[in-house]
Structure 1
Amino acid sequence: MTPIIEVKGLSKKYKIGEAQPYLTLRDTLAGLFTHPFQKIKEGLQKDEFWALKDINFTVEPGEVVGIIGRNGAGKSTLLKILSRITPPTSGEVILRGRVGSLLEVGTGFQQELTGRENIFLNGAILGMSQSEIKKKFNEIVDFAEIEKFINTPVKHYSSGMYMRLAFSIAAHLDPDILIVDEVLAVGDIEFQEKCIGKMDQIAKKEGKTVLFVSHNLDAIRKLCHRCIFVNQGELVFDGQVSEALDKYHNLHESIDLESEGGISKLGRRGSGTIKFTSISILNSQGKKSNFFNLNDKIRFKIKYSILNTVQGLNLIIYFYSTKAEKVVLSEIRQEINPDKIKKGSKGEFIIDVSLTNILPGEYNLQFWLGDRAALKQNHPIHYDYIDKLYRPIMIHDPENTDLGSGIILFPAKIIKNNKDK
């Protein structure tokens, strides 16, 4: 079978440098005469950054391929080249079919045109006739759930409306290859599940090819037949999904929060009376990690320093779902001996948290130090608050159990089941 996508020796180089201010032609010419070697010097001083390095792979018709990697690994650059938005520095891409891509919210939309007009515009760009687009029009609008706003200019759309319409257009206008980046995070949980179901339908029932970039590893596991792991611009692995996720897991196990600049460079709020000095996140083997299985235990080692004597000290850790709302994970109330929270003293929390009742997914972590007792007077005292660590932690289900959507899993037991006679 002839591959529908062939990528050969693909590389992409960017030059890192600040944009030059606007100059008139006269300014430019004058500068060349007064400083003839300045431009040459500036060009030599620019740093070069290889976003992709010698990428090679093929994709067969009907395959659903996941692409994973840390932020900055080169995933989005790869998809932009495949979508013909960005040219490669070297190498070749062969696409045998019509491509529908959803890379950034609003890409390909004309702001002044209505939703209706943008549907026809995008269809025309894909080479479809007016009659072909009309046959698909109602499906696109119904799926996007924006019927009331279809005649409104898209510049008035929310980011969620943008995403729903953009995905619906890309998925329904008969692409042979559907390319989807991690823009589904803009939508609500129900619509994300709807999109994943549509991609599955496109592949299984219509035989289309799907390339899907996501940090949601459970979505990758459920949807994809194969997975490509990209790290620092290089293709690290291409093969079975489970093996790709294991390699991704091993990479994250080696990541140390302190090696990325430490918590001192994170966004912080609070009075600073007490400060976090170190946060370590460990798995059940005692290794630093941000990748966990369902039912695993997370150990937090949290060190702090007291700059001024205080009356009370509490720690709160939040899991904040990247798809939903904040969940209070663990809270310590009045656990600190007042004699140990005097100026100049230091302390450490060691907390074990079981991941028994939380559903798989990505969760940002937030840490709060303060005095909860002051809440009774409606004046909580905030000492130190870290809004978000460098990356979310990831919880996945190795059994791939269909647990549905949501955040919290409440175990239930059937006591009685009366059947009709």
Structure 2
Amino acid sequence: MAEVVIQVEQLSKVYRLGTIGTGYLIQDLQRWWTTTVRKQQDPFFQLPGTHVSAGKSGQSQALWALQDLNFEVKRGEVWGIIGNNGAGKSTLLKIISRIIRPSHGIIRGKGKVSSLLEVGTGFHPELSGRENIFLSGYILGMSKREVQAKFDEIVAFSGVEHFLDTPVKRYSSGMYVRLAFAVAAHLEPDILIIDEVLAVGDAEFQKKCLGKMREVAHNQGRTILFVSHSMAAITSLCDHGLWLQQGQLKAQGTVGQVVNQYLVSTQQSNAKQSWNDPAQAPGNEHIRFKQVELIPQLVQPDAPLDIRTPLTVKFQFWNFTSDTVISTSMVLFSAGGECIFDVPSTATRFQAGIVSGECTIPGNFLNDGAYYISLYVIKDTTTSLFDYEHCLTFELEDYRGEIQWFGKWWGAVRPVFPFRLTQTEFSQLEARL
């Protein structure tokens, strides 16, 4: 059975907004002595349902960054921590890294921890890249001999060897994070903590970083905690997932299950509207819509919508005029209002009554992103009867499969066409090189 290297019990972190200190010097001294010297819980920490006297300025407003977290991480596991901005991900990593103390609860850890929580962690802008490698290494717990032993590997991985003696204040953000990650990744830590540092990297750097993290985790048996807003990167690298929402633990388990739950909860969708009374339905004296619905053809009911998912649009409307040639255009827009396509139906003669329509957008056609659909009902292919704008909205998540690049995929559409490479001629070029 694998050894537990991180154990979190009833972990909470609260911040007091608008007030620094308790309002009394004697209480501030007591707090400092209790929390800093004796390493005990803040005596003025207020748990829900308890009462603590307020200072001079009254009781301050409390912001719960984390609340009652409980989980265990075993040696060699790779955990992806996900959640919206402000969910408490970075606060949790800072507590595990011993940068800040929790307000309540217990956290136990075993082994050397290396953290990369922001671009250029531990760097001094006036020092060169060479000097900052040693400085950052010292801060992260390496000796001078260890840094020297790993120096060439760090420089080669970072790709900034031509700028090694240039002050890092002249580095781009990409160069900064390349060097910072290279130092952290070569420390041979027992626990490696990484917070959204791949966001500023290019495709080549992302591939190298993910490859290095896989090597550290799977080949060397080290533990990784990885925060990212790229669900493709999380699912590719991690085995376990932790979902935080407003400081609380929403879900934990296998990475696929947790990511699916998170995506389903965050996807903005207006997938169905229906009306029983024509007087209340959108339309006019010619047309009134009875129902519009977006039906995703999911392999599993709890799976999120992604670029592979076929989407069927079904609708019905009341037609109040007889012997009329009617067609409908289904127009798809991006969230920014860019028209992706306009698909017209065949023009058909209808009598008064209910008209039904259906159209399917195939999977592996649209790029990831947010979209909305508008339906336009047309008479005689020339005259507008009614325009139903913004009737359906949905959002598609990314999916990369075996592709190890996680930058933004170009284009409004992302079709899968037959496309292959074949060897048509053999030569001795490789031998000559």
- TM-score range with shorter-chain normalisation? 0.5 to 0.7
Which ranges of structure 2 fall in alignment gaps of 5 or more residues?
22-53, 271-291, 314-330, 344-357, 373-392, 427-433
Higher alpha-carbon Rg: 2
Counterparts of 1:157-306 in structure 2, within 5 Å, are 157-253=171-267, 255=268, 284=296, 291-297=304-310
- Look up the match of 1:4: 5
Q: Which whole-Å CA distance do the structure 1 matches of 2:192 and 2:102 have between them?
A: 20
1:190-213 per-residue CA deviation (whole Å, 9 max, x = no partner) reads 211211111000011111111111
Q: Which whole-Å CA distance do the structure 2 matches of 1:91 and 1:281 have between them?
A: 47
Q: How far apart are 1:103 and its partner, in Å? A: 1.2
Counterparts of 1:63-212 in structure 2, within 5 Å, are 63-212=77-226
Give the aligned residue type for 2:57. Answer: E
Give the aligned residue type for 2:10. Answer: G
User: Are the counterparts in 2 of residues 252 and 291 from structure 1 also a CA contact under 8 Å?
Assistant: no
- The answer to whether 1:330 aligns with 2:336 is no
SS of 1:4's equivalent? strand
Give the aligned residue type for 1:402. Answer: E
Counterparts of 1:346-365 in structure 2, within 5 Å, are 354-357=362-365, 363=368, 365=370
SS of 2:15's equivalent? strand
1:358–1:190: structure 2 CA closer, same or farther, 3 Å change rule? farther
User: Are the counterparts in 2 of residues 290 and 394 from structure 1 also a CA contact under 8 Å?
Assistant: no
Q: How far apart are 1:120 and its partner, in Å? A: 0.6
1:217-241 per-residue CA deviation (whole Å, 9 max, x = no partner) reads 1221121111111112111222111
Q: Which whole-Å CA distance do the structure 1 matches of 2:416 and 2:205 have between them?
A: 23
User: Are the counterparts in 2 of residues 10 and 88 from structure 1 also a CA contact under 8 Å?
Assistant: yes
Give the aligned residue type for 1:72. Answer: G
TM-score w.r.t. the length of structure 1 is: 0.65
Give the aligned residue type for 2:206. Answer: Q
SS of 1:215's equivalent? coil
- Look up the match of 2:354: none
Match for 1:411 among 417, 422, 425? Answer: 417
User: Are the counterparts in 2 of residues 281 and 298 from structure 1 also a CA contact under 8 Å?
Assistant: no
1:314-344 per-residue CA deviation (whole Å, 9 max, x = no partner) reads x994589xxxxxxx771569xxxxxxxxxxx
1:275-329 per-residue CA deviation (whole Å, 9 max, x = no partner) reads xxxxx9966279xx995223224689xxxxxxxxxxxxxx994589xxxxxxx77
Q: Which whole-Å CA distance do the structure 1 matches of 2:109 and 2:89 have between them?
A: 18
User: Are the counterparts in 1 of residues 307 and 396 from structure 2 also a CA contact under 8 Å?
Assistant: no
| Percentage of matched positions with identical amino acids | 43
SS of 1:191's equivalent? helix
- The answer to whether 1:396 aligns with 2:399 is yes
Q: Which whole-Å CA distance do the structure 2 matches of 1:364 and 1:281 have between them?
A: 19
1:140–1:418: structure 2 CA closer, same or farther, 3 Å change rule? closer
- Look up the match of 2:40: none
Q: Which whole-Å CA distance do the structure 2 matches of 1:299 and 1:103 have between them?
A: 43
TM-score w.r.t. the length of structure 2 is: 0.63
SS of 1:292's equivalent? coil
1:392–1:107: structure 2 CA closer, same or farther, 3 Å change rule? farther
Query: Which stretch of structure 1 is more off in the superposition, 9-18 or 55-64?
Result: 9-18
Which has the larger share of helix?
Answer: 1
1:113–1:355: structure 2 CA closer, same or farther, 3 Å change rule? farther
1:53–1:164: structure 2 CA closer, same or farther, 3 Å change rule? same
